């Protein structure tokens, strides 16, 4: 099956990219080995944004077309996106501790934006879990996914201005430390990891979509069963409207 090939390709690509980033590329003169974390950290973040972009577009598509398959794509994007967002935050913290001396710094716009991203889409997933009717669930999710997506650029600008206008001393100016000593190889390592993650992401999206479709079918079967059972029990009287 083609998807299985994609999965294997992704696995090999990740191993290759990790090997390149960990053992082939030299350590940074300023940041030392901690620089290597950037490859997985930045790649995770980009994939998360990609994933949430898909969620927003698929949700928009659902509002337009009412096709639940689009909703399944949106769900896949959100779940996979949340995972990569968590990775990005973890990577950012593991990089921050050796480089800044602290795990968290409010002045780093990327870290704060990513934390908000996680909160937004965990809320999205929770919203889906608390809605039972598939159509309402899909509508609500689409709207929340859309609002979250348009909020992100606003958040991005606001936290950048937040830092830019702050005039106090910083622990270790993040900008200075982001200028690497061997740009070409570092960029290559980053792009390699990004490519590998993209393959892995595509594989996850396909599988999660397939899972969502089957789970929906099972859910539908359960609903039909409950409705007809209730009908039988009440001799034709309509079942009470459940919370939607």
Stretch that binds other proteins, among 67-75, 173-181, 182-190, 201-209 (CB under 8 A): 201-209
Q: What is the distance, to the nearest Å, from the Cα of residue 180 to the centroid of all Cα atoms in its chain? A: 27
Q: Give the nearer residue to other proteins in terms of CB position, either 179 or 215.
A: 215
Q: Give the nearer residue to other proteins in terms of CB position, either 191 or 229.
A: 229
| Residue in 9, 57, 61, 90 binding other proteins, rule: CB under 8 A | 90
Q: Judged by CB under 8 A, does residue 128 bind other proteins?
A: no
Paired tokens of 21 = 């980033």
> Are 82 and 122 contacting, i.e. CB atoms less than 8 angstroms apart?
yes
Give CA separation, 223 vs 62, 133, 175, 218, 228, in Å. Answer: 22, 9, 55, 9, 9
Q: Judged by CB under 8 A, does residue 77 bind other proteins?
A: no
Query: Nearest approach, Cβ of 173 to other proteins (angstroms)?
Result: 19
Phi, psi of 240 (to 5 degrees): -65, 140
Query: Nearest approach, Cβ of 231 to other proteins (angstroms)?
Result: 6
Query: Nearest approach, Cβ of 208 to other proteins (angstroms)?
Result: 6
| Residue in 9, 155, 182, 188 binding other proteins, rule: CB under 8 A | 155
Instruction: Tell which positions 129-148 bind other proteins, by CB under 8 A.
Output: 130-131, 135-136, 139-140, 142-144, 146-148
Q: Give the nearer residue to other proteins in terms of CB position, either 131 or 170.
A: 131
Give the contacts of 124 (CB within 8 A, at least 6 positions apart).
Answer: 55, 78, 141, 144, 145, 148
Paired tokens of 194 = 């990004």
| Residue in 158, 173, 187, 226 binding other proteins, rule: CB under 8 A | 158
CB atoms within 10 A of CB 53: 15
DSSP label at residue 238:
P
Q: Judged by CB under 8 A, does residue 173 bind other proteins?
A: no
Q: Judged by CB under 8 A, does residue 116 bind other proteins?
A: yes
Q: Judged by CB under 8 A, does residue 46 bind other proteins?
A: no
Give the contacts of 78 (CB within 8 A, at least 6 positions apart).
Answer: 51, 52, 55, 121, 124, 125, 128, 141, 145
| Residue in 161, 179, 181, 187 binding other proteins, rule: CB under 8 A | 161
Q: Which residue has the tokens 């993650």?
A: 197
Instruction: Tell which positions 1-20 bind other proteins, by CB under 8 A.
Output: 7, 11, 14, 18
C-alpha angle 134-137-143 in degrees, rounded to nearest 5 = 140
Query: Nearest approach, Cβ of 154 to other proteins (angstroms)?
Result: 5
Query: Nearest approach, Cβ of 178 to other proteins (angstroms)?
Result: 17
Q: Judged by CB under 8 A, does residue 187 bind other proteins?
A: no
């Amino acid at each position: 099956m083609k998807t299985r090939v994609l999965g294997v390709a992704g696995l090999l690509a990740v191993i290759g990219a990790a090997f390149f980033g960990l053992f082939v590329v030299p350590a940074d003169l300023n940041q030392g080995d901690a620089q290597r974390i950037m490859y997985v950290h930045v790649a995770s973040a980009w994939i998360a944004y990609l994933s949430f972009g898909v969620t927003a577009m698929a949700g928009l598509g659902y509002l337009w077309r009412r096709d639940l398959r689009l909703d399944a794509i949106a769900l896949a994007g959100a779940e996979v996106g949340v995972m990569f967002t968590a990775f990005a935050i973890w990577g950012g913290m593991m990089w921050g501790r050796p480089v800044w001396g602290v795990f968290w710094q409010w002045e780093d716009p990327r870290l704060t934006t990513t934390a908000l991203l996680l909160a937004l889409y965990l809320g999205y997933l929770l919203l889906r879990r608390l809605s039972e009717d598939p159509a309402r669930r899909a509508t609500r999710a689409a709207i929340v996914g859309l609002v979250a997506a348009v909020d992100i650029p606003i958040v991005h600008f606001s936290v950048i201005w937040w830092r830019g206008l702050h005039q106090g001393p910083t622990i270790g100016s993040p900008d200075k430390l982001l200028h690497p000593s061997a740009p070409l190889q570092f960029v290559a390592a980053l792009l390699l990891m990004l490519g590998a993650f993209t393959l892995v992401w595509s594989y996850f999206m396909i599988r999660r979509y397939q899972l969502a479709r089957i789970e929906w079918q099972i859910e539908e079967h359960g609903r039909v069963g409950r409705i007809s059972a209730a009908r039988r029990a009440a001799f034709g009287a309509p079942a009470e409207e459940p919370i939607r």
